[in-house]
Amino acid sequence: MAKFLEPSVEEIKSNRLYAEMGLSDKEYDKVVEILGRQPNYTEIGIFSVMWSEHCSYKHSKPFLKQFPTSGERVLMGPGEGAGVVDIGDNQAVVFKVESHNHPSAIEPYQGAATGVGGIVRDIVSIGARPIQLLNSLRFGELTEKQNQRLFSGVVAGIGGYGNCIGIPAVAGEIEFDSRYEGNPLVNAMCVGIIDHDKIQKGTAKGVGNPVIYVGLKTGRDGIHGATFASEELNEESEAKRPSVQIGDPFVGKKLMEATLEAITYPELVGIQDMGAAGLTSSSSEMAAKGGSGIHLQLEKVPTREAGISPYEMMLSETQERMLLVVEKGTEQKFLDLFEHHELDAAVIGEVTDTDRFVLTYEDEVYADIPVQPLSDEAPVYVLEGKAAEFSAVNHDYSNIDAQDTFKKLLNHPTIASKTWAYSQYDQQVGANTIIKPGLSAGVTRVEGTNKAIASTIDGEARYVFNNPYEGGKMVVAEAYRNLVAVGSLPLAMTDCLNYGNPEKPEIYQQLADSTRGMAEACGALNTPVVSGNVSLYNETKGEAIFPTPVVGMVGLIEDVEYLKGYQPTAGEKMYLVGELKDAFGGSQLEKLMFNEVSHEEISIDLDMEVRRGEVIRNAVKDGVLSHVQSVGKGGAAIKLGQIAAYTGTGLDVTLEATNAQSFAEIPGNYIVIVKEGQSFEAENATFIGTFGGDRVIIKTKDGEINVPVEEVASTWKGAIEKCMTSAV
């Protein structure tokens, strides 16, 4: 090991250097057992990233097995870069969501930008052309300067990367709560379209087949990024700023186009994005999936500067890179393609039949590891969970003022319009966006067809904290509702599980109970999980975020013609589908009045969700309804206010509910507007009033909201901008 000064195997053991990389004593002993000797510095670095929570899911794997992952339309489920679902006519939709939480907390612009870049490459590595970006964001309250800075940086990073690479942002969600103080959540989702015969897998097979590196030259940025994402944030996290990668969207665009051209070459054997753990994960995982060995000659890796060691090369998370395996003798064809796209590329190794992961630098061996144990024998921990102890609180909501509450809720950034953020994203590049972000699922036409893809991304963190099992069901159902509200058939979902430290019994139990609820809802709603991501250790100074499972779901629209009439007109009748009752645990009303979660027992009826969803979807598709909204945060009164603010048109309705019940967030409720001349019937559908006029009038059993629509729109649209004008 003369070329690079690295600690000896004795120093690694005696000084417990492996612990600094995130391995426990027991895990280190297991590495020694696998190798039959003590690991060197490069080898222990490789094991530490591959066995990190971010890469191996060692605390969450047992829960992921609950999810249904197959279905008649599922062409490829979890295990590859993204899930693939059939949409007919030899076409498929490809999608996945990923987190970039810790990097965004340290460096918000680059953390968010590289999150977008990484998820785009996941979709492209399958061979699909991206058509949609979505994002789910959580921050502390916008009254704090630090949260304004994080919010501003993340939004700029998402726009800065997505706009340059030319993919429209069509939907998303943003929430603000003190539980995300210092630990924002940045979950990015991408959706692409592919023909069945172009679907690629990340596999390395065929003895002697060359391994090609393409993209940005490797630097020292992002080293141990996967490990960084697998620990709590604290005072030392700022010192780990080098762990945050730097994105280059212009190279990202070149790499996307070059990759989409490369997948048309029949000589391509396998391809994988160099994401978390960089060259280590991409090469070792491809070898494992191919049942092969792999030998990399690291002196051939394009590097940004001299003196980068094998350890640094293998753990670097430099962005905009792909790894390919191609048929022997055809490597020049691929190198010429990449040169044409002005990308650095090199043959850096070959596939072997040794079943070993071998790294050399100028013929000196820096790692020699059996492939399968590195990939498949990461430890899995089944811990003892413990439900948090609490006493359910029944708060008194009897004396609230409807109009005052309406204005306060509408003015909170969680409920307010997110135009301030979405206006920084290109929403229509490609000219196929049919429904833009704002109040509904995003809808994008499948180019050259009359089909469209509807997509949404949703989270219900306060409800999951209120009751993890029921809350887990609710987050899946909310995504389902948003898709049927635009007439699409929900197909499948991807998830991003954001939680605190799973080694704490209460957090572990949240993870166990909520994923059980999610799995049950997936089965009932026929939305299998085809891809996903887990982000644990989301804690700052010992305080965990709310348990925040986020669901991205896609739906199919067979013929977009009906959406031409999906626009409400003054004079049309409005209905509430569902019922209003006392149910406030986890609601925004509860937060506004008491700033806590009461752990009130609230449940969801999944059979009803399916029945009601089918009725709504068919009514939209058949041209009966001109507008549909699932009643979400803030309840029926707030949803009515949002409809008025979004359309610029008033409404006059009467709710058979108390003031408080008009803000209750009952699962499964919808507000629908019926087209002139059409009749609408559904289980628990009640006529409530008329769309039109210049005022928002909502009468309840014990009060009234009566506000000019201009004032409602001004409050809703201006709340976030007002906070951000004071940002530093």
Catalytically active residues, by annotation: 54, 100
To 10 degrees, the CA torsion angle through 503, 138, 468, 580? 170
Q: What type of residue is 244?
A: V
Residue 515 CA to residue 474 CA, distance in Å, equals 11
Question: For residue 214, what is the enclosing H or E element?
Answer: strand 210-215
Cβ atoms 122, 275 nearer than 8 A:
yes
Distances (CA, A) of 497 to 20, 196, 436: 25, 29, 26
Question: For residue 477, what is the enclosing H or E element?
Answer: helix 468-484
Strand-pairing partners, residue 435, are 443
Q: Phi, psi at residue 369, to the nearest 5°?
A: -130, 135
287: closest CA among 191, 199, 356, 349? 356
Return the HEC string of 506-567. Answer: HHHHHHHHHHHHHHHHHHHHCCCEEEEEEECCCEECCEECCCEEEEEEEEEECCHHHHHHCC
8-state DSSP, 369: E
Three-class SS state of 14: helix
CB contact set of 275 (below 8 Å; sequence gap of 6+): 118, 121, 122, 281, 282, 317
8-state DSSP, 40: -
CB contact set of 180 (below 8 Å; sequence gap of 6+): 138, 139, 140, 545, 546
491: closest CA among 61, 78, 88? 88
Cβ atoms 555, 487 nearer than 8 A:
no
**Largest CA-CA distance found in the chain, in angstroms, rounded:** 84
The owner of tokens 């951000």 is: 724
362: closest CA among 314, 295, 298? 298
Distances (CA, A) of 704 to 406, 416, 635, 671: 10, 21, 15, 18
Cβ atoms 388, 507 nearer than 8 A:
no
Residue 59 CA to residue 306 CA, distance in Å, equals 38
Three-class SS state of 213: strand
What's the chain's Rg over C-alpha atoms? 26
Q: DSSP string of 267-321?
A: TEEEEEE--TTHHHHHHHHHHHHHT-EEEEEGGGS-BSSTT--HHHHHH---SSE
Question: For residue 457, what is the enclosing H or E element?
Answer: strand 452-459
**Length of the chain as a residue count:** 728
The gap from C-alpha 619 to its chain's centroid, in whole angstroms, comes to 30
Q: Phi, psi at residue 170, to the nearest 5°?
A: -115, -15
Q: What type of residue is 271?
A: I
CB contact set of 722 (below 8 Å; sequence gap of 6+): none
The b-or-e profile of 505-539 (16+ CB within 10 A means b, else e) is ebbbbbbbbbbbbbbbbbebbbbbbbbbbbbbbbb
122: closest CA among 192, 57, 60, 58? 192
